[in-house]
Homo-oligomer: A and B are copies of this chain.
Amino acid sequence: MIRKAEQKAAQERAAQMIAEAGIRITEEETMKIEVVDFGLSRLEIEGVQVLTMVQTDRISVKVLAMLPNQTEPEHWHPPVGEDPGKEETIRVVSGRVYFYVQGENTLKQGFLVKGKEKRYTLRHEIILKPGDQITFQPGEKHWFQARDEGAVMYSFSSVARDALDQFTDPDIVRVVQIID
């Protein structure tokens, strides 16, 4: 869970990072930035800030802002009814982003979240810089991380149903709970 004050502070940090990355967003969008702690209550370690620009029943466009050294936990987008699952292309706008996918262990420049090594099973490292992009097929597991500079990226995808995403860490609850 996230306290309202913490949510507001993270929204403001994310909005500033997004602006510094050269993406113009409206005041209304700033207030809609979703602050996601995955139910783990330690936002700065495992979390992400998400601005949804487009959300229809066919496509989704989000801007993801990651605080310095924040990690988005290992997850995948499962099939839902007739939908084979979300297909997603992430394109980096600012900062370097450390992605981890299936493949041999090449983890070197990123880090596993301390004490949670078993909940990050993928160790094949792909480092993207601004202007680079990577596509994940439906069901394809991945996790990613920003380092000291933080990062801003676009997520372009088929329809998103975030609440149905699946995570390696059984403690994760995707629907965020905000408290006073």
- Could you tell me which A residues sit within 8 Å of B by CB distance? 21-26, 29, 53-54, 56, 58-59, 61, 87, 89, 91, 93, 130-133, 135, 156-158
Q: Are A59 and B56 in contact (CB under 8 A)?
A: no
Closest to A130 in B: B24
Q: How far is the CA of A61 from the CA of B135 in the complex (A)?
A: 13
Contact of A53 among B22, B29, B130, B133 (CB under 8 A): B133
Q: Are A87 and B56 in contact (CB under 8 A)?
A: yes
Q: Which residues of B contact A23 (CB under 8 A)?
A: 22
Given contacts A23-B22, A53-B91, contact A58 B158 (CB under 8 A): yes
Q: How far is the CA of A89 from the CA of B55 in the complex (A)?
A: 10
Given contacts A61-B89, A156-B61, contact A131 B56 (CB under 8 A): no
Contact of A93 among B24, B133, B158 (CB under 8 A): B24
Q: Are B54 and A133 in contact (CB under 8 A)?
A: yes
Closest to A132 in B: B26
Closest to A27 in B: B131
